[in-house]
Amino acid sequence: MDYDLTRGYQKYDSAVKNLEGILDKVKVIFDITNYQSLLNEIKTKVENDEDLSKKMPYAGMQSDLEAFVFDDYVKKIEEITKKIEEELKPFYETYLLYTKINLNIAKISDENIIDIIDTTRMLVDSLNLLTNNLTDEQKVIVDEAYKTIYNVILYEEIFERNDILNYVNSLNTIAFKENLGRLLGNDLNKLSEEVIINENLNNIGTEGLGFDCFNEDIIRQVSSKTVGEANSSYLRRKNEAIDKITTKVNNAIEKKDKLTTKYLENKYQIKNLKLNKNLLTLKALSVVLVPVITITAGYRIGKSKSNKVDEYQTITRTINLETGNLIGNQVEEFDEHSTTYVATVLKCGPWHSNNIGNGYIRNVTAYDYITPETANENDDFHITKDNLDGNLIEKYQYIEAKDTLDSNENTTDTTIIITETYQDKTISRKSTKFIIPFTLLGIGLGALISFILAYTKIYDIETIQNAIYNLDKKIKERIASNEDIKKELKKLQEYATELQKELQDVERKYGKINVNKNALKINLKKY
């Protein structure tokens, strides 16, 4: 070949090598047979073109030859190159990105997680620009890209990050929702079948799962069960968190056990101390047997006199005269004196809103009910609506107020409430009115005799009193100790509640933890 064609040939040769370099790269993932055939065809034509030397009549036309000798071949090569760049290169760049990410994920750590996230963001952008109507080869690249993005979302969670999850969410692209939702659905189905994931996710099918399930809580659970368990950084954080919460729980349980043990010891000692005190008290009583006799005698005398007196039941009750319903409790007492019928009547207007303040008010008028002269204890003289008005004497009026009304409150009509007191002679009992006075008299007499005996040094009561005093002191000390323990248990109960929440957070991130949660519960009603 004439030397004057060198620069033109260099341009052609450079285009050929550029195209061959591109083909050599993309052949890893694409079938380049057609493109290779086109290039080989051009190269063959150049090698067999016998007219190239004839196109150069003189050396001075070298600069012109550069423009047209290899121009047709260079243009054809550039057209092939452009077509590859448009059809295959975007997918090849996507391939390079997810290949790089997958290589880095294999050695993911705190040091390279940022680089992985940055590269994945580029992969998301690249994938978001790809067109539809893909070939089978292109679909393989796209599917692998989605798998890579999904894996990064799982892996970044174990490093407590959500960069890619949030970034994909912000795009709000249907393709991402469908493809990532499908991948999540597959994992959820597997994990649900193995019963190693939150039970409220069981039976979630792949179809229709959608990207809406891509929330941090679900991703956290799937991540911990798929990629987390095999990652050293994740396992280190998991073990540290579990050790920390386990230590806290065990320390709280240990403190609870110590407090409850001390409480029970005090309780047992209090019981024994009281028993000893009672024995000493019985000893003292045996020393003062005479007072016991006087007390017993006083009681028996009082009971004998009381048995001669009959008491009759006196009933006081409040009823709603409109409905006949009993309001409040019915009070039943016994009295030896006859009781005439007495009643107080309240006429209550309907409830209405307070015009000058909040809440509700109603007007109330109070009356005394005068019993007819013909009434006696055997008559049916209870107040009814028919015999009411003619026997009332007004006493006073007032306004009743309340903040809120119950559903059964009357807001339309007047309500009549009556409180009546009457005696039922058919119900009676023996009186006890003399028992206490005569018993007290016996106690007083016994105390007087005991004083005389102690003063005259017939019995050594002082020693017994000192022993009882010391026992009382010890009993009070242990009771005070148990009161302090109950305060500590209350504080521990509040701390245990916080600890339960912290434990739930750790379990939500790392799964169930083998600690005795029930031992944290404190039932203060037992103390």
Predicted confidence (pLDDT) at residue 480 exceeds the cutoff of 70? yes
Q: Distance between CA 94 and CA 459 in Å, rounded?
A: 109
Please tell me the predicted confidence (pLDDT) of residue 56.
Answer: 44
For residue 309 the two structure tokens come to: 């007196």
Please tell me the predicted confidence (pLDDT) of residue 241.
Answer: 83
Q: Distance between CA 254 and CA 244 in Å, rounded?
A: 15
Give the tens place of pLDDT for each residue, 271-309. 999 998 888 787 776 666 777 788 888 888 888 887 777
The answer to whether the predicted template modeling score (pTM) of the entire model surpasses 0.75 is no
Give me the chain's average pLDDT, please.
Answer: 77
Considering 21-30, 206-215, 438-447, 470-479, the range whose residues carry the highest mean pLDDT is 470-479
Give the tens place of pLDDT for each residue, 87-121. 667 777 777 788 888 888 888 877 888 898 998 89
**DSSP secondary structure letter of residue 326:** B
Q: Distance between CA 314 and CA 398 in Å, rounded?
A: 29
Strand pairing class (360-369; 352-353): antiparallel
Beta bridge partners of 402: 360
Cβ–Cβ < 8 Å for 186, 167? no
Predicted confidence (pLDDT) at residue 379 exceeds the cutoff of 60? no
Cβ–Cβ < 8 Å for 258, 264? no
Cβ–Cβ < 8 Å for 73, 14? no
Predicted confidence (pLDDT) at residue 44 exceeds the cutoff of 80? no
Q: Residue 362 is inside which H or E element, if any?
A: strand 360-369
Query: Rounded to an integer, what is the distance from CA 208 to the centroid of its chain?
Result: 29
**DSSP secondary structure letter of residue 112:** T
Please tell me the predicted confidence (pLDDT) of residue 63.
Answer: 47
Q: Residue 469 is inside which H or E element, if any?
A: helix 461-510
Please tell me the predicted confidence (pLDDT) of residue 442.
Answer: 79
Predicted confidence (pLDDT) at residue 354 exceeds the cutoff of 60? yes
Please tell me the predicted confidence (pLDDT) of residue 272.
Answer: 93
Please tell me the predicted confidence (pLDDT) of residue 112.
Answer: 85
Cβ–Cβ < 8 Å for 81, 15? yes
Within 8 A by CB and 6+ apart from 444, the residues are none
Query: Rounded to an integer, what is the distance from CA 448 to the centroid of its chain?
Result: 67
SS3 per-residue string spanning 22-35: HHHHHCCCCCCHHH
Domain boundaries, the chain: 3-87, 90-230, 310-430
The amino acid occupying position 124 is V
Beta bridge partners of 423: 314
Please tell me the predicted confidence (pLDDT) of residue 396.
Answer: 93
Predicted confidence (pLDDT) at residue 378 exceeds the cutoff of 60? no
Work out the percent of the chain whose per-residue pLDDT is above 90.
11
